[in-house]
Amino acid sequence: MAVLMPGWTRTRLTAALITIAALVLVPLAVKGVAWQAERETRQRLFQRGSHSLAYGTDETITTLQQQLRDNPREFAPHIALAHTYLQKVRETGDPSLYTKVESLLNSAEKIDGQQPDLFATRGILALARHDFAGALKLGKQALILDTENPQYYGIVADAQIELGKYDEAIKSLQTMVEHRPDFSSYSRIAYARELYGDPEGAMEAMQFAIDAGGPVPENISWAYVQLGNLSFGMGNLDEAGRNYDLALQRVENYPAALAGQARVATATGDLRRAASLYQQAFDRVPLAEYAIALGDVYTKLGDEPAAQRQYDLVKAIDQLLSTNGVNTDMETALFFADHNIDLPQSLVKARAAYAARPSVHAADALAWTLYRTGNYAEAQTYAAEALKLSSYDSLKLFHAGMIANALGQRDQAQTYLQQALNLNPHFSLLWSDLAQTTLKQLASTPATKEGQ
């Protein structure tokens, strides 16, 4: 580990949710959808996008399905097909495939209920559905049966970090890296370095992941997108664009790279191009994050009807995710809070999310939702917790700055807001301008004794 990741210690290293589960979703849940409506929505959203990316996954699914028909009592094809369906979710964003995964695992359990791969695959499914406590239990069960498989440590570490168990996650990830320094390990290291405020180190580790090669071609495009996102977070738009281009060179029309290019276009003020790129990304993989971003672009363009259509799509996707067992209270809370939607319910969801997964991200979501509902003092407690691992996150700093400003803490507000803008002046289409405006107001307003 010291050779691979020089300069890192246990207190600076943590795991990341970069399994299949993490790369699929930016989901939001609204309960109570009828089955017929769910089916119609799924057809409307996914029929146009599911064919657009040719990874060969469909051919693999067909082959494995035939193997199961020929040998229905064999354990291995059940697990292989379950993993292939999980990969298909990555490619299409279709959460209904989780039901197929669960059915396959139930059948596999009847064949051999004590195989570590069974517990591990159930753990990955639990991660995808944001059942992190369940994923941790399943990952540990897999490790009891096989302590030498590094991927099992990855599942455990992913769950631990989402549960706020950072010290335990560090140990799990350290063991994983020592067992096998590969794409999966390096990509987790990259996220860990980013989480702890070392974007340059994160880029180094992600390049290691690219050099190591991923199990499927899409993995490398994903890694270049992460490099682009890191560059964007540092305000380096040209470098971000180059990395998104590299991702597209490897997988044509790769949705995450198109969305990355849209972010760059937004930052440079080319909102029409941003709208086109976000639409292309959504047409290929209809994820809520693309619909939200496109809606925000339309809002900036002054086209409220078009923006509302996108936000309505988010609600439709939310329903699909909820129907298919995905718990997304944290994401829902942030979406509602950002867009002034049902703020009391937003707070309920944020509290539920933090109770279930007390990570720094959940703390940030709760802090912002508390701020938006006028609970400033309590919000500040969680804003501080959100920054406990690192202050290298413009959005978290912005949240903390606005909370401090609401409490009359002028100097602290200025510090946070300036840090946010120094890191990345284009950190948010919704909030960057407000950060600039608030900072100017603070600078031009004479300080009072109470507000200092």
CATH number for position 228: 1.25.40.10
Find the radius of gyration of the CA atoms of the chain.
22
| Distance between CA atoms of residues 194 and 50, nearest Å | 32
Longest dimension (CA), the chain: 80
> pLDDT band at 98, cuts 50/70/90?
very high
Q: Which residues contact 6 (CB under 8 A, 6 or more apart)?
A: none
Q: Is 32 left (phi over 0), alpha (psi -120 to 50) or beta?
A: left
Residues 64-72: what's their mean pLDDT?
A: 96
Most confident of 24-33, 208-217, 414-423: 414-423
Q: In terms of domains, do 162 and 245 share one?
A: no
> Tokens standing for 312?
């309505």
> Tokens standing for 59?
């051919």
Q: In terms of domains, do 146 and 22 share one?
A: yes
Asked if 388 contacts 368 with a C-beta cutoff of 8 angstroms, the reply is no
Q: In terms of domains, do 132 and 9 share one?
A: yes
Domain boundary among 162, 193, 224: 193
Total domains present in the chain: 2
pLDDT at 2: 31
| DSSP letters for 90-104 | HHH--TTHHHHHHHH
Q: In terms of domains, do 7 and 144 share one?
A: yes
> Tokens standing for 352?
């539920």
| Distance between CA atoms of residues 264 and 281, nearest Å | 14
Per the structure, the complete domain to which residue 255 belongs is given by: 216-323
pLDDT single digits (tens) 110-134: 999 999 999 999 999 999 999 999 9
pLDDT single digits (tens) 359-385: 999 999 999 999 999 999 999 999 999
What pTM did the predictor assign?
0.87
pLDDT single digits (tens) 153-182: 999 999 999 999 988 888 888 899 899 999
Please check the confidence at residue 9 and state whether its pLDDT lies above 70. Answer: no
Q: In terms of domains, do 22 and 83 share one?
A: yes
Domain boundary among 142, 162, 193: 193
Q: In terms of domains, do 241 and 139 share one?
A: no
